[in-house]
Amino acid sequence: MREIVKIQIGRCGNQIGSNFWETISEEHSISKEGRYEGNSDLKLEKLNVYYEECSTYSRYIPRTVFADLEPGSIEAVQASSLGRLFRPENFISGQGSAGNIWAKGFYTDGAEIIENVLDSVRKEIERCDSYQGFQISHAIGGGTGSGLGSLMCEKISEHFCQPITQLFTVFPSTNTSDNILQAYNAALFLPTSRFLHSAVQVLDNEALFNICQRTLHINSPTYRDLNYLIADVMAGITCSFRFPSQLNSDLRKFVTNLQVFPRLLFHLCSYAPLRFLSTHNYQSLDVNELVKQVFDPRNVMCNVDPRSGRYFTGAISFRGIMPSSEVEEALQETRNQHSSRYVDWIPDSFKSSLCDIPPKKIDRAACFIFNSSSVIEKFRKIESQASSMFRRRAFLHWYQSEGMDEMEFTEALSDLNDRITEYTIHQEATALQNDDDDEIYE
């Protein structure tokens, strides 16, 4: 079996992670005590990808590790109704706090717990037959998800030979955070992706808030509401890893199809139907409506407008019973209508997969992951906020007192600028263009 080990880092990462486990455990009929309570072979067939079957206790245990520099978020998961599902020794926390500073997560406090985290991860790998990679959930605006996240990425690349890794990353938003250092923390995290053969799912709370308020009419959304939207996306992406399906049946294929260039690995995602889990009745959407909605900028879970850039590649997972011919037709029609939004030098750039098993409480859904140059809107905001503070060396002493050098900021900002340039060049390229921009391939 090609197993996946899931790692949660920091408060946001742990909270998102626990919602993900709640969602997929329900889908696979795994009870909160880890017992299989279903009666369908489809649910069992690939269960081992995410759960270890422990015959001694006749239960299934998630292949996962929770890490945080402070105990709060981990204690909350342990005390929740799901707490007993997980392996107790895979909850690892320090006693301090990252104080919203990347350097604490990467250099000082993070260094104190990283060996324990790696130890748990290593033991999880030993329990796999032939693991295929990692998935990590975290936010990069605070200090733990960003700093300890960077350290984790570096260490797993070193210890496990650059495995395939997919990150579910909550980027900072301008309007929904009170943390002034978030742009620094995000900018310092981003170069870390060079250590990984990875795909980063870019999410942000601003977009999730807007979805809750405008589409779902929740006046004051909580993190739980936002996290269920994320959990739907994560369940959508992973359904073809967890259930028998036709395409993208493993993490490597998924990442390979999406990643056109090694450094341009930041993907956006959208979902249909957007839903609020406590509401039960959802109108069933047909294939055309699902496709229309996932291409709608209002369904994108990051506050950028896909129309501001061009699509390189995309993967759409459809869930529920629907004819594949209808799916192909609907996708072709959208492509014909908006052909200028796709780069013309990647033929057949969109892949679709069909999984018969729908999410809970609805009969059909679609999740769209796309590699689009519009993600640079997000990078530009981080770059401009971080640069304007860095020009005056504002708040730098907080990082320097943890042992950091100014040079690391200069390098991180220059890396960010390089990525923006690369996306722009590829976005503007055409199939017939002479190859006079050779320097970008060097």
Cβ–Cβ < 8 Å for 177, 139: no
Please identify the residue of the shown chain whose CB is closest to the bound Mg ion.
11
Q: Which is nearer to ligand GDP, 141 or 359 (CB)?
A: 141
Q: Transcribe 182-236 into DSSP letters.
A: HHHHHHHHGGGGGGSEEEEEEEEHHHHHHIIIIIS--SS--HHHHHHHHHHHHHH
Q: Which is nearer to Mg ion, 147 or 306 (CB)?
A: 147
The answer to whether residue 358 forms part of the interface with ligand GDP (CB under 6 A) is: no
Q: Which is nearer to ligand GDP, 145 or 320 (CB)?
A: 145
Name the segment binding ligand GDP (CB under 6 A); options: 87-95, 141-149, 291-299, 357-365.
141-149
Three-class SS state of 358: coil
The answer to whether residue 142 forms part of the interface with ligand GDP (CB under 6 A) is: yes
Q: Which residues contact 8 (CB under 8 A, 6 or more apart)?
A: 14, 16, 17, 18, 64, 65, 66, 67, 136, 137, 138
Q: Which is nearer to Mg ion, 138 or 381 (CB)?
A: 138
Three-class SS state of 250: coil
Q: Which of 94, 110, 133, 145 binds ligand GDP (CB under 6 A)?
A: 145
Please identify the residue of the shown chain whose CB is closest to the bound ligand GDP.
142
Minimum CB distance to ligand GDP, residue 185 (Å):
8
Minimum CB distance to ligand GDP, residue 218 (Å):
14
Crossing angle of the two packed helices 149-159 and 182-189, in degrees rounded to 10 = 10
**Site residues, Mg ion (CB under 5 A):** 11, 144
Minimum CB distance to Mg ion, residue 232 (Å):
24
Name the segment binding ligand GDP (CB under 6 A); options: 7-15, 212-220, 258-266, 407-415.
7-15
CA 131 vs. chain centroid, Å, equals 19
Paired sense of beta strands 266-272 and 91-93, if any? unpaired
Task: Determine the size of the site formed for ligand GDP (CB under 6 A).
Answer: 20
Residue 177 site contact among ligand GDP, Mg ion, none (CB < 5 to 8 Å, cut-off depends on kind): ligand GDP
The answer to whether residue 205 forms part of the interface with ligand GDP (CB under 6 A) is: yes
Look up residue 334 and give its DSSP letter: H
Partners of 51 in the β-ladder: 62
The answer to whether residue 15 forms part of the interface with ligand GDP (CB under 6 A) is: yes
The answer to whether residue 170 forms part of the interface with ligand GDP (CB under 6 A) is: yes
Q: Which is nearer to ligand GDP, 80 or 324 (CB)?
A: 80
Q: Which residues contact 159 (CB under 8 A, 6 or more apart)?
A: 118, 122
DSSP run (H or E) holding 62: strand 59-62
Q: Which is nearer to ligand GDP, 139 or 369 (CB)?
A: 139
Cis peptide before 221 (omega within 30 of 0): no
Q: Which of 4, 8, 11, 66 binds ligand GDP (CB under 6 A)?
A: 11
What whole-number distance in Å separates Cα of residue 336 and Cα of residue 145? 41
Chain positions 289 to 348 lying near ligand GDP, rule: CB under 6 A, are none
**CA geometry: angle 409, 68, 192, nearest 5 deg:** 30
Minimum CB distance to ligand GDP, residue 228 (Å):
10
Q: Which of 64, 227, 248, 372 binds ligand GDP (CB under 6 A)?
A: 227
Residue 223 site contact among Mg ion, ligand GDP, none (CB < 5 to 8 Å, cut-off depends on kind): ligand GDP
The answer to whether residue 382 forms part of the interface with ligand GDP (CB under 6 A) is: no
Q: What residue has token string 């263009």?
A: 433
Crossing angle of the two packed helices 182-189 and 376-391, in degrees rounded to 10 = 120
Name the segment binding ligand GDP (CB under 6 A); options: 138-146, 237-245, 312-320, 391-399.
138-146
Structure tokens at 392: 């005056």
Name the segment binding ligand GDP (CB under 6 A); options: 117-125, 134-142, 231-239, 353-361.
134-142
Q: Which of 223, 282, 345, 395 binds ligand GDP (CB under 6 A)?
A: 223
Q: Which is nearer to Mg ion, 186 or 300 (CB)?
A: 186
Partners of 268 in the β-ladder: 370
Side-chain half-sphere CA neighbours of 116 within 13 A: 16
Minimum CB distance to Mg ion, residue 146 (Å):
10
Single out the residue of 258, 318, 246 nearest to residue 288, CA to CA: 318
The answer to whether residue 181 forms part of the interface with ligand GDP (CB under 6 A) is: no
Cβ–Cβ < 8 Å for 28, 47: yes
DSSP run (H or E) holding 240: helix 223-242
The answer to whether residue 62 forms part of the interface with ligand GDP (CB under 6 A) is: no
The answer to whether residue 139 forms part of the interface with ligand GDP (CB under 6 A) is: yes
Structure tokens at 104: 């604490």
Structure tokens at 103: 């350097």
The answer to whether residue 63 forms part of the interface with ligand GDP (CB under 6 A) is: no
Which residues bind to ligand GDP, rule: CB under 6 A?
10-12, 15-16, 98, 139, 141-145, 170, 172, 177, 179, 205, 223, 226-227
